[in-house]
């Protein structure tokens, strides 16, 4: 995972918590998340009025004083320029924010500019490691110690662990044999039983193999099992048996060979709790079928995400003979129905479960990207509407109603068209 994703998610997650020493210790990472959130929202907006930017800041959760620091940081990085009146009060903000791909790559420069502490650098390393897989505590702390900016300081890693466990981003479990396991409870939702899988991986000396496999699959969700290059087949089977990797098998009704497609929990969940509900497994089944069609079908599907998007928009898609044989699992699941196409021996898919198709398209977009966007950018785009489960519980507990007048004021500010002014307030 990129530094940008980690900082964005962390800042949104921490917004559910009251200020505490543990949250304060992660302040610069939270600030980086706010800065990136503002950048992603302002990117492409050219010139905005000061009121509009302030309204966006309030929606991000940033008050006026902090927003001033955020904008100063963005200005120092060359992402924006601020026009001020004679009293140095901002009038309008013109963005020169990098494209989304470059903005993600610029996250390390942002972290250097705001001078994150070694403990915060260790926290990023630990969060990244435990998001990827459950780990023995010594392996997880080692990932924190070797993270950039930590300089091998064991105390920084221990402090990072305290802060992350206190804020619910890492869970610490003591197994029956006394060994300790760390995992991200917002991804590995099986509960503390997942610790046993980490122990079995360690006992089998498979931790590096499983790590390499998870990294490969996180970059290519739904990868055909035959295409795995990061490790041997026995470790794939091991990871599947321990529920660290999920295998979806696609069968054809013409007696074809079964094909396995591999997924990780990272497809359906991000490190901060966002998820795609797929209790039935139909979403992964649809993704696997699309990847089968793109990889093994007699007439290959060149752009599965475009095909699925067409299926969603029109309700029916495709006109080819393989459709008559390649999708029995989806038919049994009730996701699609195979109907006659145009011409003898040709068939089309009729969509029966649009929600399944929408979630499958999100997965394919995360795998392929959309247009010129990368998978990382697709993941960040999805986070823009994210509300963490802890934040939602906090919001429900407060039972604070929406101030309709303030809401109208914010919307009006967001839609305000900036007026070019001369210094001194003259139009």
pLDDT in tens, 145-184: 999 999 999 999 999 999 999 988 898 988 878 888 898 8
Please give the pLDDT value at position 401: 44
- Is residue 270 over pLDDT 70? no
Please give the pLDDT value at position 278: 62
Please give the pLDDT value at position 289: 81
pLDDT in tens, 35-83: 998 898 888 788 888 988 898 888 788 999 999 999 999 999 999 999 9
**Rounded CA separation 408/89 (Å):** 24
Backbone angles phi, psi at 63, to 5 degrees: -80, 175
CA torsion sign, 95 to 99 to 102 to 103?
positive
In this structure, the number of other CB atoms found within 10 A of the CB of residue 102 comes to: 9
Nearest Cα to Cα of residue 104 among 189, 193, 7: 7
Kindly report the average pLDDT of the chain as a whole number: 79
Please give the pLDDT value at position 371: 39
Please give the structure tokens belonging to residue 79. Answer: 């992402």
Res. 189 pLDDT band, cuts 50 70 90: low
Taking the CA of residue 121 as centre, how many other CA atoms within 13 Å lie in the half-sphere pointing to its CB?
Answer: 22
Please give the pLDDT value at position 257: 67
- Across residues 86-110, what is the average pLDDT? 89
pLDDT in tens, 214-243: 888 877 878 888 999 999 888 888 888 776
Question: In order of start, what are the domains of the chain with their CATH numbers?
Answer: 3-116 (1.10.10), 122-203 (1.10.10.10), 221-371 (no CATH)
């Amino acid at each position: 995972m990129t530094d940008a994703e980690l900082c964005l998610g962390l800042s949104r997650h921490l917004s559910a918590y009251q200020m505490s020493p543990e949250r304060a210790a992660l302040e610069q990472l939270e600030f980086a998340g706010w800065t990136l959130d503002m950048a992603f929202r302002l990117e492409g907006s050219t010139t905005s009025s000061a009121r509009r930017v302030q309204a966006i800041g309030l929606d991000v959760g940033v008050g006026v004083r902090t927003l001033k620091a955020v904008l100063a940081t963005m200005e120092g990085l060359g992402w924006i320029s601020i026009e001020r009146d004679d009293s140095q009060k901002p009038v309008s903000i013109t963005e020169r924010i990098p494209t989304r791909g470059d903005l993600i790559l610029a996250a390390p420069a942002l972290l250097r500019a705001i001078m994150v502490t070694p403990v915060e650098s260790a926290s990023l390393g630990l969060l990244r490691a435990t998001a990827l897989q459950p780990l023995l505590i010594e392996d997880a702390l080692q990932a924190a110690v070797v993270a950039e900016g930590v300089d091998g300081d064991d105390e920084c890693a221990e402090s990072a662990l305290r802060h992350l466990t206190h804020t619910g981003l890492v869970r610490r479990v003591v197994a029956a044999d006394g060994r300790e396991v760390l995992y991200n409870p917002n991804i590995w939702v099986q509960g503390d039983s997942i610790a046993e899988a980490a122990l079995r991986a360690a006992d089998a000396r498979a931790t590096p193999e499983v790590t390499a496999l998870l990294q490969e699959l996180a970059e290519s969700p739904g990868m055909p099992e035959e295409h795995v290059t990061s490790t041997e087949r026995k470790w794939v089977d091991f990871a599947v048996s321990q529920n660290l990797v999920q295998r979806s098998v696609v069968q054809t009704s013409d007696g074809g060979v079964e094909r396995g497609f591999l997924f990780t929990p990272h497809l359906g969940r991000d490190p901060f709790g966002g998820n795609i509900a797929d209790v039935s497994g139909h979403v992964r089944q649809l993704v696997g079928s699309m990847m089968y069609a793109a990889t093994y079908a007699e007439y290959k599907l060149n752009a599965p995400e475009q095909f699925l998007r067409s299926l969603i928009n029109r309700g029916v898609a495709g006109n080819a003979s393989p459709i008559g044989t390649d999708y029995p699992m989806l038919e049994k699941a009730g996701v699609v129905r195979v109907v006659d196409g145009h011409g003898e021996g040709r068939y089309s898919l009729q969509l029966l479960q649009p929600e399944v198709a929408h979630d499958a398209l999100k997965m394919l977009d995360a795998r392929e990207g959309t247009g010129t966007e990368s998978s990382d950018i697709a993941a960040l785009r999805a986070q823009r509407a994210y509300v963490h489960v802890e934040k939602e519980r906090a919001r429900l507990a407060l039972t604070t109603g929406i101030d309709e007048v303030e809401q109208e004021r914010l919307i009006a500010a967001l839609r305000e068209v900036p007026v070019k002014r001369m210094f001194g307030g003259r139009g």
